[in-house]
Amino acid sequence: MLLLDGCSRQMDVSDTAVQQVQTVETETQVMVTGELQNQSEPTSQETESYAKLNETTSANTAKKEKHLLTSDELSEIEDMLNGRGRFKYLTYGFLQSGYESPEYVDLGLVLYCGAGIKGDALTDAEKEAYRRQVDEIYTDMTRLTTKQINTFCIDTMGIELKDHKGTIYGSYLPEFDAYYFQHGDTNFRIVHCISGYVEDNHYYVLSDDVDYYFFDSQCLTVLKKSDDNYLFVSNQFIVTEGVEKNVEELNGLVRIYHSEIKDNYQSDLDFSSNIFETDKRIYTKHELLNMNPYLLEIARNEIYARNGYIFESSRLKEFFKQFSWYQEQVSRVSFSDDMLNKYEIANRDLIKSIEVWRN
């Protein structure tokens, strides 16, 4: 269960954390025992996971030719995500941001460690320009030209770089027409595909990762088959039931978030400042989709904390008490929307809609 505090309901997730949309029509259940008889038999665990995954798809998507992904199909998609076998790219980064269409994927996370693209070493002129325009070079550096990234976008999403509307946290040097990414291996992950099904040439895949520290969640990823390749369509995070972040872990998530948006590692939190700007501007849906569920929980409840709300959750109370600006003043029964400004109301409602969509 992910606690979503005080001023709003708690949201429960199913045993495999896969209850975020409506239930599919019962005819899809028949396909597990009908159309699959001529394919390699799925394990009982796969069949059980499929039944639960079915619950995530809206009733109006029940179309013809729907079938459970076999072990071989899941293994191939797993190879694709992990850059194994015949697949030349490392594409696990597509599972590290939330997006409803590929134009809004966070390419910074996808390309952070190079995504398997072979980039040339920096020339002395590039190193000098980077130090002059950006920063000193402290870690490993990946250099990718605009042409390389454009080819990658076409191969993995079916769109050109010019059509991309999301973020790229790499530093762009126009004189070399290239992006530069300073990095360690901090976002590297090994993806495990749990279950999935294919319908109308779209692959719906439930996956998790092996020992990835950033957040405890699974991903529901939609892929489209194109010739002998897979194109990324969408991705959403699903929080695992019963997993909660403690205060120290929440602090770590906020530090990572601030490090990413400022493109500069933040070793400590500033407990005198707000975490988000939800009282000053309206966040876009795609900015919020890019946050994992725990950050969304903080963002929504910070709106209440900033206005003196007294949390009933001991975890949230302990978290916000770290900040010098938090003053416990208003109980649950006394709190009203009149205390919030227009930005706070708009951001809260948008965050709630994303939380409902994910669950």
Q: What is the pLDDT of residue 23?
A: 35
Predicted local confidence at residue 56, as pLDDT: 55
What pLDDT, on a 0 to 100 scale, did the predictor assign at position 12?
A: 34
Q: Are 155 and 149 in contact (CB under 8 A)?
A: no
- CA dihedral over 286, 292, 297, 303, signed as positive or negative: negative
Q: What is the mean pLDDT of residues 52-66?
A: 55
Please give the Cα distance from 95 to 235 (Å, whole number): 6
Q: What is the structure's pLDDT at 282?
A: 95
* Closest among 262, 236, 229 to 104, alpha carbons compared: 236
Which secondary-structure segment (H or E) carries 67?
A: strand 67-68
pTM of the model: 0.64
The pLDDT score that the predictor gives to residue 77 is: 96
* Helices 247-262/293-306 angle, 10° precision: 100
Q: Per residue in 303-347, pLDDT tens?
A: 999 999 999 999 999 999 999 999 999 999 999 999 999 999 999
- CA 281 to chain CA centroid, Å, is 22
Average pLDDT, the chain: 80
Phi, psi of 27 (to 5 degrees): -65, -25
Instruction: Give the residue from 79, 115, 110, 83 showing the smallest Cα distance to 96.
Output: 110
pLDDT category of residue 66 using cuts at 50, 70 and 90: confident
User: What is the tens place of the pLDDT at every residue in 7-22?
Assistant: 433 333 333 334 433 3
What per-residue confidence (pLDDT) applies to 345? 96
Distance CA 358, CA 98 (A): 10
The answer to which of 19-33, 44-58, 147-161 has the lowest mean pLDDT is: 19-33
